[in-house]
Amino acid sequence: MKLKEMLAGLELLSVSADMETEIANVCYDSRQVRTGELFVALSGYTVDGHRFISQAAAAGAAAVLCQTPPEDEKIPYVQVADSRRALAVVGANFFGHPAEAMTMVGITGTNGKTTTTYLLKAILEARGEKVGLIGTNQNMIGAETLPAERTTPESFELQKLFARMRNAGCTCVVMEVSSHALVLDRVYGVHYRAGVFTNLTQDHLDFHKTMEAYCDAKAVLFRNCDTGIINAADPWTPRLLKSANCEVVSYSSTGDADIRSEDAVLAADHVAFTAVRGEERVPVRINIPGHFMIDNALDVMGTALVLGVPLEESAAVLAKVPHVKGRVEVVPTPGKDYTILIDYAHSPDSLRNVLATVKGFAKGRTIALFGCGGDRDKSKRPQMGRIAAEGADFAVVTTDNPRTEHPAAIIADILPGLEGSKTPYKVVEDRVEAIRFCMDHAGPGDVIVLCGKGHETYQEVGHEKRHMDEREIVADYLRVK
């Protein structure tokens, strides 16, 4: 593709490159540049790509897209005001604007995004749609699964994935849209038929610094969609909607809204309720426990309704949907009189929710195994400790993804939330040993909740992802016991 075609729609501040140059591909990592590619210099939060323009040129870049012209005047460049937004536009141009060929649905919020995408995908596929899914667990093109490096890919990779979905015949895309992606313009230029807001609770403050900034990041989605499906009960909703320019459909499991729940029944293996919309009343059952699943079901049904699926039709599909991996997932423990669950709970609110759910059906003790991620918001660590003390009968504090922090230092930040409580706890730094400890000390009717890893099958230590699948750990230990 010619450079001028790739740059269509961008305001160019200055140009030294030949606009007729044929561009083979786009790269924003100078270490991976190949001959004939366009190198996009991104101004990152930790690394500024402009420092590596000379390196990219030496590797064969045909031209550079940048915010600051190169010091070497011989390097052909195109200057723009914002290279991140430019990368998104270039990606859409390069792959032929694939998102415009499909119905786009974006889901944002602290908790519930992954579950919402899977449930909505099931409903749309029951109608005969071929659905692309993008999210935390994995990416999917219909039934084909693809690995996911992050919740929302970088803009050029995202457009490439959209193109792959379009070319495979997808008619709809349901995707998690992270606050990072919205702030860093990974979804810049993407317009959504529907945007969904699940909730907002403390998380990612290492990046956003304040809850207000975190909320404002989420709000960007609702300036770029036709209809917003909004949690009416969330206290951040009024701020979220201040700058919204979309139609709004509200839902709530606790109060008045366009779609609400009544007559809720919470059981050990499901939730049931009546979905109410005006005079319409539809019984709903979903085979995943927890009050939070009512909100998840309501936001899915509201979104499906916007896309033309009646509530009754959605309810029929939800009754058949299996568990989502890593969300209140039961781990087989044949011959044992205790239960083990795996859940992705890694924020204060999600930990509170899953422990409250388990408390509601556990015949014995609720045993919470948890830690906190390294290089992330430290202020939530004592909160997680306090919530574990309040919601569990016994807590085991261990390592999550320590990244570049020492596990003992992370645990030391958690413990003040547990100290002084009546809930007994144990520190077992090694996560494998911690899981084995829980299994050794579980009694009849106890429920062990392995919190934080969920769908992940690795542990991130330093900058390395080491294989760790909690399902395998449990199965292996049962074999030797």
Q: What is the pLDDT of residues 293-346, one digit of tens each?
A: 999 999 999 999 999 999 999 999 999 997 788 888 989 999 999 999 999 999
Query: What pLDDT sits at residue 252?
Result: 97
Which residues, including other chains, have CB under 8 Å from residue 253's CB and lie 6 or more apart? 233, 260, 261, 264, 273, 291, 294, 295, 298
Q: How many CA atoms lie within 13 A of 357 on its CB side?
A: 26
Average pLDDT, integer, range 462-480: 95
Report in angstroms the alpha-carbon separations of 365 from 309, 344, 424: 42, 20, 12
Query: What pLDDT sits at residue 172?
Result: 98
Query: Residue 208's pLDDT band (boundaries 50, 70, 90)?
Result: low
Does the pLDDT of residue 194 top 80, yes or no? yes
Query: Residue 210's pLDDT band (boundaries 50, 70, 90)?
Result: very high
Entry pTM: 0.84
Query: Residue 384's pLDDT band (boundaries 50, 70, 90)?
Result: very high
Query: What pLDDT sits at residue 457?
Result: 94
d(CA 361, CA 383): 24
Does the pLDDT of residue 206 top 90, yes or no? no
Does the pLDDT of residue 75 top 70, yes or no? yes
Query: What pLDDT sits at residue 11?
Result: 96
Does the pLDDT of residue 477 top 80, yes or no? yes
Residue with tokens 């690995």: 147
Does the pLDDT of residue 351 top 90, yes or no? yes
Query: What pLDDT sits at residue 309?
Result: 98
Summarize pLDDT for 247-266 with one digit per residue, the tens: 999 999 998 999 999 999 98
Does the pLDDT of residue 152 top 90, yes or no? no
CB-based contact 178:151 (threshold 8 Å) = yes
Query: What pLDDT sits at residue 257?
Result: 97
